[in-house]
């Protein structure tokens, strides 16, 4: 990748990750940047080929034109929603930036921190589901972990209940 910041957004195609993506596009991303969507899938046991390699290293960087193609995404076991794809395609045109997707497999806490260092990201925007204190203690907060352990600036966008 050439010069320009690498703005990461953690996405799982939920409402809170779409809010984080919109916030990043409206407030951080500027001409010449690379917008990199980072998603983490559950671990799977692949038998052979490139998917087995990608389970360890993460997928190659996938351009928006490819991750807009449902046949390509089927290979990765992903189905990006129409709203996320629309946001990505619109910002790529309007701000003339590269929009890329990187897929990791494993624990979201570990893999998002790994993504910060291996891509490497200039900053990361992550959504927050707004779990209550009890659920956060039981399930753990991915965003809290990333804020405390990530090696770049991290912005947490709170999910607004409508």
Sequence ranges of the domains in the chain = 6-158
- Residues paired with 157 in a beta bridge: 127
User: Residue 7: which pLDDT band, with cuts at 50, 70 and 90?
Assistant: very high
Q: How far apart are CA 133 and CA 145, in angstroms?
A: 15
How far CA 9 is from CA of 25, 39, 117, 132, in Å, comes to: 10, 9, 14, 23
Q: How far apart are CA 63 and CA 41, in angstroms?
A: 18
pLDDT at residue 162 in the model: 46
Least confident of 62-76, 100-114, 123-137, 140-154: 123-137
- The mean pLDDT of the chain is 86
Nearest to 54 by CA among 11, 8, 104, 12: 104
How far CA 121 is from CA of 58, 68, 124, 132, 137, in Å, comes to: 15, 22, 7, 29, 28
pLDDT at residue 3 in the model: 60
Identify the sign of the CA torsion 36, 33, 91, 18: positive
The CATH classification number of 6-158 equals: 3.40.50.620
User: Residue 99: which pLDDT band, with cuts at 50, 70 and 90?
Assistant: very high
């Amino acid at each position: 990748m050439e010069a320009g910041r690498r703005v990461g957004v953690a996405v799982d195609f939920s409402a809170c990750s779409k809010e984080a993506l919109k916030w990043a596009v409206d407030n951080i991303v500027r001409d010449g940047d690379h917008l990199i969507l980072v998603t983490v899938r559950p671990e799977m046991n692949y038998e052979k080929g490139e998917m087995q390699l990608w389970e360890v290293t993460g997928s190659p960087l996938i351009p928006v034109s490819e991750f807009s193609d449902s046949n390509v995404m089927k290979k990765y076991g992903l189905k990006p929603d129409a709203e996320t794809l629309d946001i990505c395609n619109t910002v790529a045109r309007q701000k003339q930036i590269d929009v890329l997707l990187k897929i990791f497999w494993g624990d979201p806490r570990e893999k998002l921190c790994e993504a910060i260092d291996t891509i490497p990201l200039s900053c990361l925007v992550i959504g927050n589901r707004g779990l209550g204190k009890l659920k956060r203690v039981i399930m753990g907060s991915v965003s809290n972990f990333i804020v405390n352990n990530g090696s770049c600036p991290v912005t947490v966008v709170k999910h607004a209940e409508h």
